[in-house]
Amino acid sequence: MFFERLKKTEGQGLIEVLVAITTLTVVAAGLLVAVTVSLRNVEFAKKKALASICVQGAIEEVRYERDTSVWQDESEEDFYNFVENGIDGWWAFSEDLEWAAGEPALPNYQSLFKRKVHFQDVSGMVQVMAICSWTDGSREHKSKVITNFSEWK
């Protein structure tokens, strides 16, 4: 009788161990996925915050150049006349503040972001739109700020 009971429960311990290992594996895989997604979200939030600093810095650089008359040429045209006379469109600037018409071909801000500025004459004001973009894998992300400069002097 003892041997008959032993035969019925002979493989039961092995099945319990396999079920426990499978359960632990599924739980561990779920935790690994959750941690991976969380780290990816943290990295995206970090880049989004840096991009926000990037676009605000671009607006501040334009404001500084407007206020310090860097935009004046030999005919003493100011920032607003420059925009009215044809600098509408996309402009990019690099770390050394060299301005060039067109869009940046390569990342030009902290070797991560493409930073560009668009100027447009809007009824006596200059609308400035700054965009910092970056790529994450195959997707492109952007941070954008638009502000209007009026003739305040």
Condensed to tens digits (0 to 9), the pLDDT of residues 40-67 reads: 999 999 999 988 988 898 888 888 877 7
Condensed to tens digits (0 to 9), the pLDDT of residues 18-28 reads: 999 999 999 99
Return the domain boundaries, the chain.
Answer: 2-149
pTM, two decimal places: 0.67
**Which pLDDT band holds residue 30 (cuts at 50, 70, 90)?**
very high
Distances (CA, A) of 89 to 23, 37, 44, 95, 97: 59, 39, 29, 20, 18
3-state DSSP helix/strand/coil % of the chain, to nearest 5: 45, 25, 25
Residue 102 pLDDT: 60
**Which pLDDT band holds residue 116 (cuts at 50, 70, 90)?**
confident
